[in-house]
Amino acid sequence: MERRTQVAIIGGGPAGLLLAQLLDLVSVESIVLERQTRAHVEARIRAGVLEPGTVAVLEHAGVAARLHRERLVHTAFNLAFGGEVLRIDLAAHAGGAMTVYGQTEITKDLIDARVARGASPVFEALDVAIHDVETASPVVTYRKDGVDSRIRCDFVAGCDGFHGVARATIPPSVLRTYERVYPFGWLGILADVPPCARELTYSNHERGFALASMRSATRSRYYVQCPMGEDLAAWPDERIWDELALRLGPLAAGMARGPSIGKGIAPLRSFVAEPMRHGRLFLAGDAAHIVPPTGAKGLNLAVADVSQLTAALAAYYQGQGTAALDSYSAVALARVWKAERFSWWLTGLTHRFPDADAFSRKMQTAEFEYIRQSRAAQVVIAENYVGLPSPALA
């Protein structure tokens, strides 16, 4: 079977789904291919701390109604260090606020929107391969229910994550990657208990990092730093709650305990692939870059990518030439590297590194003290946390 479209989108996560939704608004046709089942995609537990610019894009895409009903709005977040809690006022220092709304819920909203438009993603699309991206007529092949299919298109958008086929399609002679793998992971627990604080708290404790987060007013998400290779079976719920009680310091007084409804260990890495375009193939989201979850930049970067890519494709189909497409990679990477810097810096401030010596510890302490005493430092943190200005969202 062969089909024809303008943009073939590989990956049915939030980046690919949002790109399809945004392209509809500028009358650009697309088809979304997703390897997993719909149930699997809608069950994936991910973070959900959204910058104001991300919320604006979701509003523009017409998928923010439930978000507005259910979200939590945070005008600040906390840094805890040595038992002291410092509140970073986002509203006062950066004129913005963050929205807490789970990425899982965003994905459900986007799938519902695609189905309502009669453009459901092709789920369980196996053996996806991308061909001829250096020509004017790329082809994407896949297998669905035992039937081999082809999509002829003008452009391919690789929104298929770190392990997807899109980035692997770019020849090694063209692609350059930059990576830092951190020597620890985040052990997370999700539970139907009220959050211990109204705002997110990043805590640096002598036993390691901890994060108190939430998905709603009745569902909490907590993390503790743990060594890579740790056995999840060695961490029953009670051990995690006990560790959080130690690492969160004063905030632990408000922590309610309950049985986990989700638990896992996530590795931390910083990763960037350059360029984000090869021929008529464009990378977006985790296919091109990964940030540590510290600072909550991953989903927000993906939304900025697809927003920029939509504008570039719209300009092309409206007869404005290829200038915006040609600059896509350079403009996106300028934004990506700033977010990578902030995530790397905040990870370094809040975590205990196994090879850190006494000097490194003193530097962490001095950094926190400087932030505590300096309004200018808090402004810089707040500006980065709520999201630096982006051409894609202008």
Cα 207 from Cα 235, distance rounded (Å): 15
- Which string of b and e fits 111-139 if b means at least 16 CB within 10 Å? bebbeeeeeebbbbbeebebeebeeeebb
Rounded to the nearest angstrom, the gap between the alpha carbon of residue 87 and the centroid of all alpha carbons in its chain is 24
Residues acting as catalytic residues: 74, 202, 293, 297, 385
Cα 345 from Cα 295, distance rounded (Å): 9
Q: Which of 122, 121, 135, 125 is nearest to 281 (CA)?
A: 135
In terms of Cβ atoms closer than 10 Å to its own Cβ (0-12, 13-18, 19+), residue 12 is buried
Cα 133 from Cα 138, distance rounded (Å): 5
Tokens (6 digits) for 65: 């109604």
Report the side by side order of strands in the sheet with 289-290. 84-89, 76-81, 201-205, 208-214, 220-227, 176-191, 260-274, 289-290
3-state secondary structure of 335: helix
Task: Specify whether the CB–CB gap between 345 and 272 falls below 8 A.
Answer: no
Q: Which of 179, 204, 201, 203 is nearest to 353 (CA)?
A: 204
Residues contacting residue 155 through CB under 8 Å, at least 6 positions apart: 6, 7, 8, 138, 280, 281, 282, 313
Residue with token string 């570039």: 312
Task: Specify whether the CB–CB gap between 343 and 295 falls below 8 A.
Answer: yes
Cα 394 from Cα 47, distance rounded (Å): 25
Tokens (6 digits) for 155: 């452009």
